[in-house]
Structure 1
Amino acid sequence: MARNRPQSPRAPRPAGRRRPGPGAEAGGWAASTVLVTGGAGFVGSLTCTDLLDHGYEVIVVDDYSNSTPRVFSRVERVAGRFVGAVYQLDIRDRPALSAVFERHSVDAVVHFASHKSEDRSTRTPVGYYDANVGGTTSLLRTMHEHGVHHLVYHSSYAVYGDAGRGPLDERTPPRPVTPYAMSKWVCERILEDICRHCPQCTVVALRCSTPAGAHPSGLLGEDQRNAPDSLLPRMALVADGRRPRLDVRGDDHPTRDGTLVRDYLHVMDAVEAHRVALDHLVDRPGMTVYNLARNRGSSVHDVISAFTAATGRPVPYDVLPGDPGAVPELVADSTALTRAWGWRPARDLADVCRDTWHFQCLNPHGYRDPAPRTGENA
């Protein structure tokens, strides 16, 4: 894979500049400058917006293999602030990544960069392990060399695999069934082991359920070109008339209506939890794992019904043969996270559907369209 050297930052700032972190007034440690890997992606870009909105300095690295640099003008428009710097690079390119750490005084890292399709991972497993595990170890080695020891890791509830019917809590032994899920589980094990041997390291791993929806402004969402496996963007394309019908992968699974059941978490709830995690990175030594979920499963039929009710648009569909290896039901329990931080999701499936549709209406061709003018964000 071609590797790119860091480009000049889009909005250069003095290197090594530190200030009290956004949470410093409450006492204790607080991050000020945060490096976001995969910051141009769906959850990553919205997390950048949320961090900027809460006073953090944000540095981004992304290779754009599953994203576009066009997103940053929208991030800055929603946040009303500039991203500190954006570098196009593959985090496996350690010299390029090291140059970013040399240029900026990074306090903590939020790590999203990974390949994310479970279906594709079964066809290219080596590539998924190389990108997801190799990228994580490259990042960790570079962080260690530059004295950065605090990390929020975007994991996935896919690690539970076929561990059983949910909601599944953090005590449930993971049983990943795809290379994607296994790569996330391997990264968690690596992070845990590093924290065991490096007492200065602290990690919060968030096992995120299926993120969906969009920013309420309609400026930021899941670009359809980069989400071929995601149910809600595919549903929005059908409702918009850009695809004739939705493909439903099986209706004979052992679930209440035969279709796959997943926990669809509004992306804004997910990004807020990642930001809150920064404030809790040093609550305890070592690594802490939390589920990040709505604690409620929705079948494909449930989502179709909710989307139609929220948008007034019917979603015609065809049932195709299901993948016999698919996990029928995957729902996580985030009670531990609520007890620890007081975090709980504030949005429901209707909000997910409504915001997905709003983004589709304003961006029928994704980020290839000019940024729309939308209310107070115009």
Structure 2
Amino acid sequence: MEVLVTGGAGYIGSHVCVELLNSGCEVIVVDNFANSKPEALKRVQEITGKYLKFYEADILDKLALEKIFSENNIEAVIHFAGFKAVGESIKIPILYYNNNITGTLVLCEVMKMYNVKKLVFSSSATVYGMPKRVPISEHFPLSATNPYGRTKLMIEEILQDIYASDKQWSVAILRYFNPIGAHESGRIGEDPRGIPNNLMPFITQVAMGKREKLSIFGSNYATHDGTGVRDYIHVVDIAKGHLKALEKIMKTRGIETYNLGTGVGYSVLDLVKNFEKATNKKIPYVISEPRLGDIAECYANPIKAKTILNWSAEKNIQDMCIDAWRFQVNNPEGY
């Protein structure tokens, strides 16, 4: 089966490509390297010993997408391509709306032209906004607190409308919680440009001595130690969730949403302590002011994915810390 992966050179996309290739799928990647590097795809092929086909193109470029579909026998699409930094989205919302939403519309238009109606969409737990309770189930009310989250929410609604208009589509919307870690080979992992937006790469860079200390935003939340609690999940578990979702959509029609999380919440300090224990590295930190829009607790109820997709997270917090550190040590300057 030929699968198109948009944004396949990115953090989660590259790990999904490994799982797809190992499962026997033929993989075609389209990426414009706005937030990724070609080296990631070379390493995916190195890890698997298998070839993937690659196109450097932007999903906003309809003619480029038409070329990709015309040259291949694509049966399904896994859609990652999009900008993803919350803070940046607040500063440049027009770019985020254009890139994420228009890009998805162009992709779906070309998919329809070539009668490819199987789609796995990379969404986010940000679509739950500020939930009133945890754990979070898929039927909870949806909202967003920033332009990035709104693009994900709008795309989910667009996909619902597309299915309502044409019941031949089969769509799986995957709402990730907090992916961390890296492939156990240490060859692919999270490689942020500039100052990391996410917690784990910041921790690993402090451990390497690249950054002086970690800033923990807020210590007065209503949690067991005052710091924010999140559902951290290993990126390889996330990747395997995509394979399960792909298997499902190939056999069915409809549109379904699934949480990909562990169902366990760890605070920022829990993560720091687990990292220190796993790596024997001390992480100096300071407490800073809470960030606007941050919530105290956010973790998943992952029962639906377990019941319907036969998927559940297998790796623990120590695995996540060890694998993230291995990637950082092996790639001190990134790819």
TM-score, normalised with respect to structure 2: 0.97
More moved, 224-233 vs 155-164? 224-233
**Within 2, Cα distance between the matches of 1:324 and 1:41?**
27
Q: Is the 8 Å Cα contact of residues 183 and 189 (structure 2) preserved in structure 1? A: yes
Could you tell me how far apart the structure 2 residues matched to 1:116 and 1:210 are?
13
The C-alpha deviation readout for 1:207-237, integer Å capped at 9, x for no partner, is 1111110000100100132771111111001
Decide which moves more: 148-157 or 253-262: 253-262
Mapped contact 2:244–2:310 kept (Cα < 8 A):
no
Pick one of 215, 219, 229 that aligns with 1:261: 229
**TM-superposition CA deviations, 1:127-160 (whole Å, max 9, x none):** 1111111111110001001111100111111111
In 1, Cα distance between the equivalents of 2:279 and 2:123? 31
For 1:150, the aligned partner's letter is: K
Give the aligned partner of residue 72 of structure 1. 41
Is the CA contact (8 Å cut-off) linking 1:149 and 1:200 kept in structure 2? yes
Residue 327 of structure 2 corresponds to 359
Residue deviations 1:333-353 (CA, integer Å, cap 9, x gap): 110110112211110111110
| 3-state SS, counterpart of residue 28 of structure 2 | strand
After superposition, the C-alpha distances for 1:84-137 in whole angstroms (9 at most, x for unaligned) are: x21111101111111111111100000011111112212222211111111111
CA distance in 1, matches of 2:293, 2:193: 26
Equivalent position of 1:4 in the other structure = none
Matched with 2:28 is 59
Q: Counterparts of 1:180 and 1:263 in 2: how far apart (Å)?
A: 19
Counterpart of 1:37? 6
Aligned alpha-carbon RMSD (Å) = 1.2
Rounded Cα–Cα distance in structure 2 between residues aligned with 1:269 and 1:82: 23
The whole-number CA distance in structure 2 between the counterparts of 1:214 and 1:174 is 30
- Aligned partners of 1:112 and 1:154 also within 8 Å: yes
* Corresponding residue of 1:114: 82
**Per the alignment, do residues 121 and 253 of structure 1 end up closer, same or farther by CA in structure 2, a change over 3 Å counting?**
farther
Query: Matches of 1:240 and 1:266 in 2, distance apart?
Result: 21
Distance 1:162 1:276, change over 3 A: same
The aligned amino acid for 1:319 is I
Offset, 1:298: 1.1
Return the letter of the residue paired with 1:352.
M
Residue 354 of structure 1 aligns to a residue whose secondary structure is: helix
Quote the offset at 1:241 in angstroms: 1.1
Q: Cα deviations across residues 187-225 of structure 1 (Å, max 9, x unaligned)?
A: 011001101111111101111111110000100100132
**How far off its partner does 1:283 sit?**
4.5
Letter in 2 for 1:54: S
State which of 210, 218, 222 in structure 1 corresponds to 2:190.
222
State the secondary structure of the residue aligned to 2:255.
strand
Residue equivalent to 1:136: 104
Q: What is the 5 A alignment of 1:340-355? A: 340-355=308-323
Equivalent pairs counted in the alignment come to 335
Q: 1:234 aligns with which of 184, 202, 208?
A: 202
Matches within 5 A, 1:164-179: 164-179=132-147
Q: Distance in 2 between matches of 1:68 and 1:215?
A: 16
In 1, Cα distance between equivalents of 2:294 and 2:304: 27
Deviation at 1:71, TM superposition (A): 1.0
Q: TM-score, normalised by structure 1?
A: 0.86
Unaligned runs of 5+ in 2: none
Hey, what's the Cα distance between the residues in 2 that align with 1:69 and 1:119?
Answer: 25
Q: Which runs of 4+ in 1 moved over 4 A?
A: none
In structure 1, runs of 5+ residues without a counterpart are 1-31, 368-378
Q: Which residue, 140, 147, 160 being the options, matches 1:192?
A: 160
